[in-house]
Amino acid sequence: MENFNSLYEAIVKGDLAGAVESTNKAITEGLEPQTIINDYMSKAMEEIGSRFEQGKAFVPELLMAARAMKGALEQLKPLLAENNTSRLGTVVIGTVKGDLHDIGKNLVASMLEGCGFEVINLGVDISSEKFVESIKEHNANILCLSALLTTTMGYMQDIIMTLEKEGLREQVKVMVGGAPVNSDFANKISADGYSSNANAAVALAKNLMAS
């Protein structure tokens, strides 16, 4: 069977067309969807994330890689739907009410999806009620909250309190992130974890699923 390092390289380079072409070849060759994700897509996103942390890649490269990975993942979705048990877990993600920033949040969502999670991306300006509704609907394992403004980051605590009132806090792990957020703030509002970048968010999500 052909080695599909071309898929890995296409995602790292942010080559959308190449990533889609390589994924379709892998499917035609009979490669299992989870093998494609684990052996090529996830490793490519881990590589570009690592380069970003080392200062060897920047946000545009991350976004291009995420776009290529997402295009490749679209080819696998019909096959993944037939075998949902292979997913690592279900994540609901969104930018909190009053905040319209989404580049970082979308990057985290794409990397989580590429690394094997089912991701429900609610978008921006999301109320606690919408988060709760989505967690219930999708039986989510993890909730990721993003904020880029100091004026909106406090709403994260409101969301966690709403989860407690709804009896969902034990069911779902809460991850927080965004420019003004740090680990001290995460501890203060009783979140389960904080990540400063998309690569760290994937590692944290995997750890929370294993805990």
Per DSSP, the residues of 110-174 read HHHHHTT-EEEE--SSB-HHHHHHHHHHHT-SEEEEE--SHHHHTHHHHHHHHHHHTT-TTT-EE
The pLDDT of residue 1: 41
Q: Are residues 182 and 92 in the same domain?
A: yes
Task: Specify whether the CB–CB gap between 94 and 49 falls below 8 A.
Answer: no
Same domain, 193 and 97: yes
Residues 48, 92, single domain; the answer is no
- Residues 28, 56, single domain; the answer is yes
40 and 116 both lie in a single domain: no
The residue segments making up the domain with residue 37 are 1-86
Percent of the chain exceeding pLDDT 70 equals 96
Q: What is the CATH number of the domain that holds 80?
A: 1.10.1240.10
Mean pLDDT of the chain: 90
Contact 154, 127 (CB under 8 A): no
If asked whether residues 81 and 98 sit together in one domain, one would say: no
User: In this structure, are 50 and 109 located in the same domain?
Assistant: no
Which of the listed residues 51, 86, 121 is the one where a domain comes to its end?
A: 86
One domain for residues 78 and 92: no
Query: What is the per-residue burial (b if ≥16 Cβ within 10 Å, else e) of 20-43?
Result: bbbbeebbeeebebbebbebbbbb
Whole-number Å distance between alpha carbons of 79 and 34: 10
In the numeric block, which tokens belong to residue 178? 């965004």
Say whether pLDDT at 82 is over 70: no
Do residues 81 and 121 share a domain?
Answer: no
Q: Are residues 137 and 197 in the same domain?
A: yes
Examine the pLDDT at 170 and tell me if it is beyond 70. yes
Same domain, 14 and 45: yes
Summarize pLDDT for 8-20 with one digit per residue, the tens.
999 999 999 999 9
Rounded-to-10 torsion of CA 63, 89, 204, 121: 40
Reported as a single tens digit per residue, the pLDDT across 85-100 is: 567 899 999 999 999 9
DSSP annotation string for 173-187: EEEEESTT--HHHHH
More confident residue, 2 or 48: 48
